[in-house]
Structure 1
Amino acid sequence: MSTKRSYKEGCSVSHALDLVGERWALLVVRELLLGPKRFSDLQDALSGASSNILSIRLHDLEAIGVLRKYRADAPVSRLVYELTDWGHSLEPVLFALGNWATKSPYWDPQAPSTVDSLVLALRARAQFLFAAGAPVAGICDMRVDDYRLFTLRFSEAGLVVTRPAGSDPDAVVEIDARTLKMLINGDETLDDAVDEGRVKLGGDERLIRSLIK
C-alpha cells in the first residue's frame, strides 16, 4: 500500500479512503467489475487519466489486494487486470455512491459515460426492480457499439452481468452506447428506438423489456 498520503485515523471510513480514495482508483474498480481488461482497455475507458497515473493506481490497487494481474493465453497472450473477490465486494459501495450522487444538483446525466458504466447502471436498476427476483428467467446477450459484448443473466437472484457474451442465449440485443444512455435516462422509449432501427431485438424480448421500457 502506498504510504504517501494517509488520514492516519483509526476510523474505518478514513482507512477505506486511504485504500481507494485516490483519484481514478474507484473508476478503475468500476471498469473491472464486469470482467478483466488490458491496460489499453482501461486507458481507452479512462481517457482523462494519464498512462503514468493509471499505472500508479493499478500498482497500488494490486499491492493492497483489490486487483491482480496475470497473463491470459487466449486468444493471444496478453497481460490483463481483474478484481479479486475483495475488490468485487466494492460493487455495492459503488452502487450506493452512484445512487447518492443522483440527488446532487450538480450531476449532469448527459455528460459522457463509458459503456461499462452504462451496463452497470442496468445492473443497479435491476437491484431495485428485481428485489423479489427477475420476472422472467433467461440469458440475454447484449452487443453495444458492434463490438462490446455482455451477458445478462436473469434469475430469481436478480440480474448478473458479465463480459464477454455467453453462448446459446435466449435473447439478443444490439444497441449503440448513445441510445443505451438515452434509454437509461428515460429520454426515449425502447419501442421508439426499435422503430428507428437503433435497437435490434431477437429471441425472448421479455428479458430486456423487464429492464428497459
Structure 2
Amino acid sequence: MSARSYGQYCGVATAVDLVGERWALLIVRDLLVGARRYSDLKEGLPRIPTNILSARLKELQAAGIVRRVPFAHGLIYTLTEFGQGLEDVILALGRWGFHDMGEPAEDDVITPDSMSMTFRTAFRPVSAETLPPTIYDTHLRDFSLRLEVDRAALHVTRLDGSDAESSPAGRPRLAFETGPSIHKLISGDLTPAEALRRREVAVLTGDANLLDRFATTFNLRPAA
C-alpha cells in the first residue's frame, strides 16, 4: 500500500489512489486527444509547475496509465490500454462539471485539447445518426478545430490555414467563429438564432441554418 493510499478495498478508492492527485486527470484528458510531447503537455496546461508535471507523468507511468515511447527525435507520452479506459470517466466528469462552470474568469484559458474534449463530451451520437454527415469548422480565439460528423461517429482535428478551405466532397460544411460563448450554445442557454443575433457566433461560410443541426448534434442539456 502506498503512503497516499486511502487503504480501502473499493474501486472508487483505488481509482482515486491512481488518478486523484491534482493535474492528473487533466493530463489524461489531453492524452485522450492524442500522444503528446512533454512540451505539448506543458503548453496545454500552462499553469502546471514543471516539477509537478514531471512527477505526475512518473506516477501515471508507474500506475500503468501512461507510457513514454520513442518518436522522431525525442519521446512522446501516450495512454496505455488501461489509461484509455478512463475515456468514459473523463467524458462523464466533463458533463457533470459543465453545468457548474458559470462564466469564464478573465484569466481562464481555453486550449485546443480542452475544447476537443468538450465537443466529444457534448456529442450526441443518437441525434447525429439521424442527420446527414456534416463538417463544422469552429474558429475559437487562437485556434480552429474541424468536427467531422458521420452519423454516430465524430472525428475532431486541428485546422491550419492550408486545410481550412478543404472538405470531403458531398458533405455540407459550416465554418463559424465564436469564443467562450460556444458553451452557451451547447448548453441550450442560447438558441442558434439568439447566438447569431447577439453576435456570439458569426458564420464565415456555409448555410447558417446548419447551426441548428450543430446545436442538435452537440448539446449538454440536462436529461429531462
Rounded to whole Å, the distance in 2 between the matches of 1:78 and 1:177 is: 34
Task: Give the 3 Å change call, closer, same or farther, for CA 124–211 of structure 1 in structure 2.
Answer: farther
User: Any conservation in 2 of the 1:134–1:154 contact (CA below 8 Å)?
Assistant: no
> Which residue number corresponds to residue 120 of structure 1?
117
Give the Å deviation of 1:120. Answer: 2.2
Identity of aligned residues (%): 34
Task: Give the 3 Å change call, closer, same or farther, for CA 13–69 of structure 1 in structure 2.
Answer: same
User: Structure 2: which 5+ residue stretches go unaligned?
Assistant: 217-224
> Which residue number corresponds to residue 90 of structure 1?
86
Corresponding residue to 2:140 among 144, 153, 157: 144
Q: Does 2:149 correspond to 1:154? A: yes
Given residue 83 of structure 1, which amino acid in structure 2 is its aligned partner?
L
SS at match of 1:59: helix
Give the Å deviation of 1:40. Answer: 2.7
Task: Give the 3 Å change call, closer, same or farther, for CA 48–84 of structure 1 in structure 2.
Answer: same
Give the Å deviation of 1:43. Answer: 2.1
Corresponding residue to 1:202 among 194, 205, 217: 205
> Residues 35-114 of structure 1 correspond to what in structure 2 (within 5 A)?
35-73=34-72, 77-102=73-98, 107-111=100-104, 112=108, 114=110
Rounded to whole Å, the distance in 2 between the matches of 1:27 and 1:65 is: 17
SS at match of 1:13: helix
> Which residue number corresponds to residue 158 of structure 2?
164
Given residue 54 of structure 2, which amino acid in structure 1 is its aligned partner?
S
Rounded to whole Å, the distance in 2 between the matches of 1:197 and 1:181 is: 10
Give the Å deviation of 1:6. Answer: 0.9
Rounded to whole Å, the distance in 1 between the matches of 2:210 and 2:66 is: 32
Task: Give the 3 Å change call, closer, same or farther, for CA 161–209 of structure 1 in structure 2.
Answer: farther
SS at match of 2:14: helix
Task: Give the 3 Å change call, closer, same or farther, for CA 48–119 of structure 1 in structure 2.
Answer: same
> Which residue number corresponds to residue 29 of structure 2?
30
Rounded to whole Å, the distance in 1 between the matches of 2:5 and 2:189 is: 42
Give the Å deviation of 1:56. Answer: 0.9
Give the Å deviation of 1:41. Answer: 2.9
Rounded to whole Å, the distance in 2 between the matches of 1:134 and 1:40 is: 41
User: Any conservation in 2 of the 1:69–1:79 contact (CA below 8 Å)?
Assistant: yes
Size of the aligned set, in residue pairs, is: 203
User: Any conservation in 1 of the 2:138–2:146 contact (CA below 8 Å)?
Assistant: yes
> Which residue number corresponds to residue 219 of structure 2?
none
State the TM-score, normalized to the length of structure 1: 0.73
> Which residue number corresponds to residue 186 of structure 2?
184
Given residue 102 of structure 2, which amino acid in structure 1 is its aligned partner?
P
| Deviation digits for residues 129-187 of structure 1 (CA, Å, limit 9, x no counterpart) | 635725121444444334x3434231232x42333358634425353443434433455
Task: Give the 3 Å change call, closer, same or farther, for CA 78–203 of structure 1 in structure 2.
Answer: farther
State the TM-score, normalized to the length of structure 2: 0.70
User: Any conservation in 2 of the 1:143–1:173 contact (CA below 8 Å)?
Assistant: yes
Give the Å deviation of 1:31. Answer: 1.8
Rounded to whole Å, the distance in 2 between the matches of 1:91 and 1:178 is: 24
Rounded to whole Å, the distance in 2 between the matches of 1:45 and 1:94 is: 17
